[in-house]
């Protein structure tokens, strides 16, 4: 009559002795694959102010401005401000995909909790200093 129940219980008992599957996060960092899309790292020196990242962004979370190159012999622009609004950034990876110079790449960092909304607005300096756990493979 209650055979099915007993059968189910043996399955549970069999699994009792198995190895634990949970991670001791946050005491230990979570292992993540290289391709994981985390908070971006930005290299101001590589940026050529082509605006492609801001154009492809599906949520319009990137704003950037450039200025003339200080060295009059060189043409082109250099970056002046670069902001990502992480209130709306969905870490979709399209900005790094279109960047021709790999000036913006993904990292494996994902901890973005802040006490206020304003702090989610990250500027050039913050994105430049976000240089841990960089993604190795950035172009498909």
The site for another protein (CB under 8 A) is made up of: 1-5, 7-8, 10-12, 15, 21, 32-37, 56-58, 90-94, 97, 106, 140
Nearest residue to 79 (alpha-carbon basis) of 99, 93, 98, 97: 99
| Residue 11 vs 115, nearer CB to another protein | 11
Tokens (6 digits) for 125: 């300096």
Smallest distance from the beta carbon of 34 to another protein, in angstroms? 8
Tokens 């200080």 identify what position? 70
Q: Which helix (H) or strand (E) holds 16?
A: helix 3-16
Tokens (6 digits) for 76: 């082109």
Q: How many angstroms separate the CA atoms of 79 and 28, rounded?
A: 37
| Residue 10 vs 17, nearer CB to another protein | 10
Smallest distance from the beta carbon of 95 to another protein, in angstroms? 11
Smallest distance from the beta carbon of 47 to another protein, in angstroms? 21
């Amino acid at each position: 009559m209650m055979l099915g129940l007993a059968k189910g219980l043996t399955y549970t008992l069999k699994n009792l002795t198995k190895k634990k599957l949970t991670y001791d996060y946050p005491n230990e960092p979570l292992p993540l694959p290289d391709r994981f899309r985390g908070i971006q790292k930005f290299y101001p020196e590589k940026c050529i102010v082509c605006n492609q990242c801001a154009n492809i962004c599906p949520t319009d979370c990137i704003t950037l401005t450039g200025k003339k190159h200080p060295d009059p012999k060189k043409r082109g622009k250099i970056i002046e401000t670069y902001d990502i609004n992480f209130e709306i950034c969905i870490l979709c990876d399209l900005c790094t995909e279109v960047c021709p110079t790999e000036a913006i790449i993904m990292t494996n960092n994902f901890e973005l909790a802040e006490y206020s909304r304003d702090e989610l607005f990250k500027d050039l300096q913050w994105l430049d200093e976000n240089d841990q756990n960089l993604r190795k493979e950035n172009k498909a």
